[in-house]
Chains A and B, each alone.
Chain A
């Protein structure tokens, strides 16, 4: 059945968007942060993050179901225009800074691992201003459809990558089981839960998903698939490189693709993975760009928010050029993740509380 395009997306498209937003993190320098804090137990950190997110996500589902609209509209409704704008602005700030910091991170990966002679500006321009801006400009439906096309390929390549490196793994490297200690791991799990806060951020798009059930289903699947993928890859990194060495490897995913072998002949597989990864990165930033522009539109009360895409993308590229190298971006990113973790864990709780209070007042 051919449906007339109505700008809305279904559960599969929404799942694909969540997947490109979250699951691609296994390929950048996120695993380093987690390995540093969890050592051999780093694979537990995403699982703990997932547990920490269950409550807020369930509360968000209740709110979305009740108000039948997106997160931002709910915020405006419950907190009034001033606080609504403030909260929207804070979310925008976190999404946007993550966009510009991560885009720089991705450009650094390309320069370090593949094309050392290219310029950062060039890659950022191609990635953000070229591919991502183009996809985002076509609207949410286009992002969803494109993501739906490539996400199955990502899943297949990830599975291939894990299987083609099993020879190099030793499961015993996952021991000592508690890694850096229980408290450290738990702290990491909660502190880094904003890595999956995209599931809450994507709540701003809830009104553009066809039905509430589709939204809920896609969110749940997007969350656990991304967390599962992160946990599996963290374990794989430790099993292949061991925990001493993995802490020194800047981009473990890209080292892993180099070790991937199919038989004895095809042993330079990284080019295949690079192509898929680049497509994934473009989609990731397209989703981020779209949401940034959407939020900025809400903050300044500007309806045709798509016109904001270009300035947002341009600013992200300019800001991405500021750090001298990826080490300077690292601490900023960590601070951002930690501070936004608190915000995203609390936001649904606060909104839910306000909702309850209002109900009581009415009575």
Chain B
């Protein structure tokens, strides 16, 4: 008996050993924070750009690594991501790991290629790839984008993308686009990926938010602009939406992922000027899908809550109910118009929709096979879509009346 216990005691120590089987020291690892994917020169080859963070920079140990850069970027040409990772080891002293990979940037050329779906799907097989990684499409090759992206505030690259993603939730110019959602929508539904570029091509005279990445008139600062979205269908990029369209796409979803957004509308009481408002949603968008009808009928009602924080025309809204109602109506009309033109664009150019309306349509089906056979994407092309907005203006800023100068007013 005693001997038996002793043997079991020894076996117990085996438990402690399990910690050593796949041990890897922090110091020996290289954390990849960003991956860039581009089409290679040879067919079926891709160029993979790795941005490896230097964990020593900006820590208490930073003094020891003063002359080291915050990250190291290099590009490998290979058949797929996994072999590129292995080949990268030929120049890297540390063992590369994807466990802190947050962002995957795909060059537009590759995203439009049939190869892309294979690349990303096969990359998913690697257990180190995480489904919550953000996917972005860059206008130029991803390697150029990553090399050009040198934000001054965020020296550490992983912080940069983390903060950027947080700010997307505040503006709505960019869709929240992680790989998990990408893999949910490979069957005919549209997926929106953030669209980015480091090339400037400023456009003037456009309405405040109808920009694509690179078009925002900006001087100085970080060359990178992330605004608008790339439309992916069946894992392949088929088009682009600008910042305004992307925002509307977010509003038309049942689950709006955007907390607040600032938008401007022409002031109905003084057409010369625009009025800028802060918008959020008080409740979920109501979506009614009727698949029994042909063509398919979709009714959407978007409740929006508006705060007026800037008023260029200096029209006095607080004293006139008529003006207030007028403003409300005009915002509703403006947004309905913008939404209708987005729907027209989607129905004309693409097959499917990015608003997760398909999930509402599923309620009408009894079995999964019925739903798949219905072919939602094709049916949406001819669907009759009714969108209405329900605007509530909850406040007019902190001033009761616009602070006008008496004299100027009289001269007007």
Question: Is the Cβ of A122 less than 8 Å from the Cβ of B360?
Answer: no
CB distance from B298 to the nearest CB of A (A): 14
Q: How far is the CB of A246 from chain B (nearest CB, A)?
A: 9
Most chain B CB atoms below 10 A, which of A119, A123, A133, A172: A172
Please give the distance in Å from B257's CB to the nearest CB on chain A: 9
Interface string of B158-191 (1 = CB under 8 A from A): 0000100010000000000000100110110000
Q: How far is the CA of A232 from the CA of B292 in the complex (A)?
A: 31
Kindly state whether residue B221 has any CB partner on chain A within 8 Å: no
Report how far A177 CA is from B359 CA in the complex, Å.
Answer: 12
B408 at the interface (CB under 8 A from A): no
Interface size counted on chain B using CB atoms at 8 A: 35
Inter-chain contacts of A242 with B (CB < 8 A): 184
Q: Out of A114, A170, A172, A255, name the residue touching B363 (CB < 8 Å).
A: A172
Interface residues of B in 130-166 (CB under 8 A from A): 130-132, 162, 166
A259–B181 CA distance with the chains assembled, in angstroms: 12
Spot the interface stretch: A76-84, A124-132, A189-197, A321-329: A124-132
Known A-B contacts A117-B22, A118-B21, A258-B132; the reply to A175 vs B365 at CB < 8 A is yes
B368 touching A179, Cβ below 8 Å: yes
| Pair B180/A112 contact, Cβ less than 8 Å | no
Interface of B is mostly: helix
A173 to B132, CA, bound (A): 18
Task: Determine if B362 is an interface residue (Cβ-Cβ < 8 Å).
Answer: yes
CA distance A179 to B365 in the complex (A): 9
B184 in complex: contacting residue of A123, A244, A259, A268, CB < 8 Å: A244
Chain A residues with Cβ below 8 Å from B131 are: 255, 258-259
Chain B CB within 8 A of A115 CB: yes
Within 8 A of B (CB), among A222-273: 240-245, 248, 255, 258-259, 264, 268
Contact check, A130 vs B22: say whether CB atoms are below 8 A apart.
no
Decide: A170 and B359 in contact? CB cutoff 8 A: yes
The digit string for B363-376, where 1 denotes a CB below 8 A from any CB of A, is 10111111100000
Whether B366 pairs with A178 at a CB distance below 8 angstroms is yes
Asked if B93 CB lies within 8 Å of chain A CBs, one says no
Q: Mark A124-149, 1 if CB is under 8 A from B, else 0.
A: 01100111011001000000000000
Task: Give every chain B residue within 8 A of A176 (Cβ-Cβ).
Answer: 362-363, 365-368, 370-371
Q: Is B405 an interface residue (CB 8 A)?
A: no
Q: Hey, which chain A residues are within 8 Å of B263, CB to CB?
A: none
Closest to A39 in B: B368
Q: Which of B8, B363, B369 contacts A137 (CB 8 A)?
A: B8
> Does B127 sit within 8 A of A, measured CB to CB?
yes
Q: Is A219 an interface residue (CB 8 A)?
A: no
CB-based contact A113/B369 at 8 Å: no
Shortest Cβ gap from A160 to chain B (Å): 17
Q: Which residues of A contact B (CB under 8 A)?
A: 39-40, 112-119, 122-123, 125-126, 129-131, 133-134, 137, 168, 170, 172-173, 175-181, 240-245, 248, 255, 258-259, 264, 268
* CB<8 Å pairs between A and B, sample of 6: A112-B127, A126-B17, A129-B14, A133-B11, A173-B362, A258-B130
Given contacts A118-B22, A178-B367, A245-B186, 7 further A-B contacts (CB under 8 A): A122-B21, A123-B18, A172-B356, A175-B359, A177-B366, A180-B367, A248-B183
Closest 3 CB pairs of A and B: A115-B22, A172-B359, A175-B362
